[in-house]
Amino acid sequence: MLDAAQSLGHLPVSVKDLGVDLLAAAGHKGLLGPLGTGLLYIRKGLESLLDSVRQGGTGSASFDDHQPLTLPGKYESGNPNAPGLVGLGAGAEFLTQRGLVRISQDESALTARLISAFAQIPGVRIHGAPANAQRLGVVSITFADRSSTEVAAILDQTYGVQVRAGYHCAALIHDALGTRDSEGTVRFSVGPFNTEEDIDSDIEAVEAIAQGESPTIASPRACACVAAASGPAPGPGQPTSSVGGAYGNVSEIPGIRELWEHTLGDPGITIAVLDGSVDLAHPCFEGAFVEEVPALVSMSVGRGIASRHGTAVASILFGQHQSPIRGISPRCKALVIPIYGDSDALESPRCSHRATAS
C-alpha cells in the first residue's frame, strides 16, 4: 500500500509500474482540492478481498438492506461530499492541463533556488536531502538563536510569508533531528502557484531574521498570540483594525459588542480549558475566577509553545475588561486543566503560525 497523503507532491506516479495494490491520498494537498476530500485506489481484482469498515446508506440500491457490493458504493457510505468532490475535480483538471512534468520541473527549480540561498545564510540550518530532480518542494530549516514558532510569527506578521512551524505531525522524528528544543522546524512549501519573486522574498526575509534585523515577538508574559487575542476597545475615530495586529481582535467578532451589553458571563458557568499551563500572573487574569486542577503534566509555566498557547486560549475567554486583553466571557469561572507540557513528547498545539497549503 502506498500512502500518498504527504509524500508524493507533484511527482508523477504510476501504480502499474510500482506494483501498487492500494494508494490513499488526501485531496487538499498535492491535488489542490478542498479539505475533507481524498481518494483510494484499489487494484482491479482486489475489491473482492476488502470489506468496508463503515457501513450505512444504500442510496445506489435503495430497496436493499445491505451495503452495495459494487464499486464505488461498497466503500462510500452516506452522502458524498459533492461540493468538495467538484473542487477536487477542478484541482485535478488544473494539474492535468498544466502537466505534472512541467509543474514538477518548476517546483524543483524553485526548491533548488531556495536551498542554495538558505545554505549561504549564517545561523540557518537546512534539514533534508540536497536539491535534485526527485526532491519534493518542501524545505525545513531551523535558526541557531530563535525558536521555529517565533520565526514563523515574524515571517507572517512582518513579511507576509506563510509557513508552518512545529513538529508537522511527526513529533518523534525531531528527537533524531535534534530539533525538539527549537520547537520543531520552519517549513517552506513550494507549490505550483509560487514564482521566483515569491522565493526571493522568502530568502530576503530569512536573511533579515538571521541577521537580527527583524523585530522579536514578545516574551511569554505578553507573547504575540496572547497580545493578539484581544485588546482595549478602540477610541473614537480609531479604526478597529489597528487593535490586535495580524491575528485580529475579539472585539471585532460580529455581534460580540451587542452581547457584552447584555452579559460578560456568569460565575455560575464554568468553562474548562484543556491546553498548556496558563500564566495566571498575566495582568489580564487579575480579578478573574480561576481554578486549577492537578494534571499529569508539569503545572509550571515555561517558555515553550504549550504554555504560551494555554495562556493565549485562556486570555481569549477570561481576559478582564479593565486589562489590555478583553475576553469573551470574563465573568465566567475558569477551570484550567493542563494536558500539554512544554517538554511533552506529544506535539503541542500551535499558536503563532498558519499552515501552508501543501
Residue 356 forms part of a structural domain: no
> Do 225 and 336 belong to one domain?
yes
Q: pTM score, two decimals?
A: 0.57
The pLDDT tens digits of the residues spanning 100-116 come to 889 988 999 999 999 99
Q: Which of 98, 124, 143 is the last residue of a domain?
A: 98
Mean pLDDT, the chain, integer = 79
> Do 91 and 107 belong to one domain?
no
Residue 296, pLDDT score: 62
CATH code, domain carrying 134:
3.90.1150.10
> Do 94 and 105 belong to one domain?
no
> Do 6 and 116 belong to one domain?
no
Residue 142 forms part of a structural domain: yes
The pLDDT tens digits of the residues spanning 269-328 come to 999 998 888 888 888 999 999 888 776 665 556 567 788 888 888 999 999 998 888 899
Catalytic residues: 169
Residue 147 forms part of a structural domain: yes
CATH code, domain carrying 276:
3.40.50.200
> Do 81 and 119 belong to one domain?
no
Residue 51 forms part of a structural domain: yes
344 confidence band (pLDDT: 50, 70, 90): very low
Q: What is the total count of domains within the chain?
A: 3
Q: Where are the beta strands (DSSP E) in the chain?
A: 2-3, 22-26, 38-42, 124-127, 138-143, 164-166, 185-189, 270-276, 289-292, 333-340
Task: Assign 164 to helix, strand or coil.
Answer: strand
> Do 202 and 226 belong to one domain?
no
Q: Listing from the earlier edge strand, what are the strands of the sheet with 124-127? A: 124-127, 138-143, 185-189, 164-166
Q: Which of 64, 98, 132 is the last residue of a domain?
A: 98
Torsion angle in degrees (nearest 10) through CA of 179, 182, 188, 189: 50
> Do 198 and 301 belong to one domain?
no
> Do 291 and 328 belong to one domain?
yes
**CA–CA gap between residue 77 and residue 53 (Å, rounded):** 10
Residue 357 forms part of a structural domain: no
Expressed as residue numbers, the domain containing 288 is 221-340
CATH code, domain carrying 16:
3.40.640.10
Residue 219: pLDDT over 50: no
The pLDDT tens digits of the residues spanning 18-77 come to 889 998 888 988 889 999 899 888 998 888 888 877 677 666 667 777 777 778 878 877
> Do 187 and 110 belong to one domain?
yes
Task: Assign 72 to helix, strand or coil.
Answer: coil
Residue 216 forms part of a structural domain: no
Residue 79 forms part of a structural domain: yes
Q: Which of 56, 71, 98 is the last residue of a domain?
A: 98
The pLDDT tens digits of the residues spanning 148-158 come to 988 998 998 88
Residue 349 forms part of a structural domain: no
> Do 84 and 157 belong to one domain?
no
> Do 196 and 234 belong to one domain?
no
